[in-house]
Amino acid sequence: MYIIEMGIKHALLGLLSKKPMHGYELKAEFDKTVGKLWSLNIGQVYATLNRLEKEGYITGKHIEQETRPNKRIFSITEEGRKEFLRWLLKPVEKPRRLKDDFYIKLTLLNAGRVVDVRALIWEQRKAYLRVLHELNEIKGSLDPATAPLLLLLVEGGILHTEADLKWLDICEERLLGGEN
Amino acid sequence: MAILETNKVSKQYQMGEVTVDALSEVDFVVEEGEFVAVMGPSGSGKSTLLHLLGGLDKPTDGEVTLAGRKLSLLSDREVTVMRRHNVGFVFQFYNLIPTLTAEENIALPLLIDGKKLKDYQDRIDKLLDLVGLTERRHHRPDQLSGGEQQRVAIARALVTEPAIVLADEPTGNIDSKTGEGILSVLRKSCDELGQTIVLVTHDPKAASYADRVVFLRDGRIIDEVRLEGTKDPKDILARLAELEL
């Protein structure tokens, strides 16, 4: 998933800035935090750790174990800490969903002339309403005391979906004009 | 079971020499226990529809059947009694009596009906709890916020256990955060009391609290959508991931 591709490197750096860990430990820590939302397999963890090591952001140390295979404990380097902080402080500049799939459909609509723009907008509106209904319900089921961050995420989702619905109103008004 | 039904309902208004079709042959069915939103821009006919549903106005053509009774067959007086027992209204403005407390405002429909309040104290307590105003039951409207006043109005609409609650832009006059509270109370009254609700609104966010949304344009129902929530709370995280929030 997109977010993972972009964020996994710094997520792992962030976890290692708390304490040195080996691969499976890292995966468990990841699962405990963001991993609930974005699943990550152990292969991705090791591939990313390799990359981070090559870039000099972490170092690995072999630990010999008698009964089990040897493992490597990874620690963050000074360079790694700097890189994590740089990423943390840099604002996220990509506006969400600017290249919305629905927009792409609108631009391609004229190519086929087989689909009615009105139908396209209505079906999209219904889909967003279903999402909004679900998010309202999820929001209602979350306890602000135990899941404050998740609640914020859901509230963000609600605001974005509301904006998507308003944008559809504008699409309808502009593209269909006085027709309806 | 259908608690409310319209059969080819039309409403025309005379504006000077011009006849305006506010509603054209609307077929609309509300099942018992359902929360339905009627959504449309201003001028789409949604308030006209609500007035016809609640017997506040009569259709030019067609029939409205409420709780099994055809409204066209009733006298004006019978419609008034029917409305008092079977319909709870919630409007954009709260229409509370300024000299009465929250609790007394909620009890008002019972008093008008000549009921003894002590027989209904349990119900009033339960409603105060549902709308979250137990602590503020003795406050007068001017001591309550806009959102709290609207919650009093909702409890007042529910107190007669009406067949249907009709709500016309109940969040139109309050900020969005307070509006969410109002909509949650309506949702709760449907989920916990099985209250049937019809909400008319222009606001998709308000409509999204309903089980079903009916779209009105130029006096006609042009489409509808059924909304379903996440059934299993354990799936919430998986679902959020799917939605790529």
A58-92: pLDDT as tens digits: 999 888 777 777 788 999 999 999 999 888 888 77
CA distance B55 to A92: 54
Asked whether the beta carbons of residue A138 and residue B236 sit closer than 8 angstroms, the reply is yes
Between the CA of residue A80 and those of A27, A44, A146, B101, what are the distances in Å?
19, 19, 32, 63
Identity of the residue in B208, B239, B243 whose CB atom sits nearest the CB atom of A133: B208
| Cross-chain residue pair B230–A129, CB shorter than 8 Å | no
Query: Is residue A3 scored above 60 in pLDDT?
Result: no
Between CA B117 and CA B120, with CA B118 as vertex, the angle to 5 degrees is 65
The nearest alpha carbon in chain A to B217 belongs to A180
For CA atoms B195, B197, B203, B208, give the dihedral sign. Answer: positive
CB contact under 8 A, A140 and B240: no
A61 vs A63: CA distance, rounded Å: 6
Neighbour-count burial of A4, counting CB atoms closer than 10 A to its CB (0-12 exposed, 13-18 middle, 19+ buried)? middle
**CB atoms A131 and B218 under 8 Å:** no
- Output the CA torsion sign for B69, B75, B81, B83: positive
Q: What is the mean pLDDT of residues A140-155?
A: 88
Given A1, A141, A162, which is nearest B236 (Cβ)? A141
What is the pLDDT at residue B245? 60
On whether ipTM exceeds 0.85, the answer is no
Within 10 A of B101 (CB to CB), how many other CB atoms are there? Answer: 19
CA-CA distance, B26 to B14, in Å (whole number)? 19
* pLDDT above 70 (res A111): no
**Contact A1/B218, CB-based, under 8 Å?**
no
A130 at B interface, C-beta within 8 A: yes
If one compares A32 and B245, the residue with the highest pLDDT of the two is A32
Mean per-residue pLDDT for A141-166? 90
**What is residue A4's predicted lDDT score, i.e. its pLDDT?**
43
pLDDT of residue B154: 96
Size of interface A-B (CB pairs under 8 A): 78
Give the three-state DSSP class for B194.
coil
The list of chain B residues with pLDDT below 70 reads 230-235, 244-245
Whether the CB-CB separation of B215 and B157 falls below 8 Å is answered with no
Crossing angle for the helix pair B176-193 and B121-130, nearest 10 degrees? 130
- Residue A32, chain B, CB below 8 Å: the answer is no
Q: What pLDDT shows up at residue A180?
A: 47
Sole residue written with tokens 């979906």: A161
Q: Which residues of B102-133 are buried (b: 16+ CB within 10 A; e: fewer)?
A: bbbbbbebbeeeeeeeeebeebbeebbebbbb
Query: Residues of B with CB below 8 A from A5's CB?
Result: none
More confident residue, A149 or B142: B142
Q: Which of B212, B232, B236, B242 to mutate to test the interface with A (most CBs of A within 10 A)?
A: B236
* Residues above pLDDT 70, as percent of chain A: 87
Average the pLDDT over A128-149 and give the result: 90
Q: Is A35 or A31 the better-scoring residue by pLDDT?
A: A31
Which pLDDT does position A179 carry in this prediction? 54
pLDDT at A1: 39
Residues of B in contact with A37 (CB under 8 A): 237, 240-241, 245
For residue B225, list chain A residues with Cβ-Cβ distance below 8 A: 126, 129-130
Q: If you search the block for the tokens 């995280």, which residue do you land on?
A: B237
Task: Please tell me which residue of chain A has the smallest CA distance to B188.
Answer: A140
Largest CA distance in chain B: 61
Any idea what the Cα angle at residue B34 is, between residues B130 and B189, rounded to 5°? 0
Pick from B183, B227, B234 the residue to mutate for testing the A interface (most A CBs within 10 Å). Answer: B227
Confidence of residue A13 (pLDDT cuts 50, 70, 90): very high
pLDDT for res B231: 61
pTM as predicted:
0.82
- Contacts of B221-229 with C-beta under 8 Å, sequence gap 24+, read B221/B26, B221/B27, B221/B28, B223/A122, B223/A126, B225/A126, B225/A129, B225/A130, B227/A129, B227/A130, B227/A133, B227/A134, B228/A130, B228/A133, B228/A134, B229/A133, B229/A134, B229/A137, B229/A138
Q: Which of A136, A156, A180 sits opposite B208 (nearest CB)?
A: A136
Residue A131: closest CA among B216, B200, B207: B207
